[in-house]
Amino acid sequence: MKKNLKKISQTKVKLFKIANRRGYAAVGLNNLTEGATSAQAYQRMIKAFRRKGYELPVIAADKIQKLVKTNI
């Protein structure tokens, strides 16, 4: 049986460079994921949201880099 996923905007996810470490992190809806690149962190967040019943849009890696916040 296919799970009905609720569509959610990518603005619900905050991406940022991890201070004093290599890599990026993504935070959203009480989920935290880490990755070597911002694209990897976002892809892992897609999986975490899917487990919660939400669907994040898949976007290109260059557009993901524009979502990264430096002052968090």
Residue-wise over 8-47: b if at least 16 C-beta within 10 A, else e?
A: bebeebebbeeeeeeebbbbbeebebebeebbbbbbbbbe
Averaged pLDDT for residues 27-43: 95
> What is the number of domains present in the chain?
1
Q: Is residue 1 part of a domain?
A: no
Per the structure, the complete domain to which residue 52 belongs is given by 6-69
Q: Is the pLDDT of residue 39 over 90?
A: yes
Averaged pLDDT for residues 55-67: 90
pTM for the complete prediction? 0.88
pLDDT-above-70 percentage for the chain: 96
Q: Is residue 60 part of a domain?
A: yes
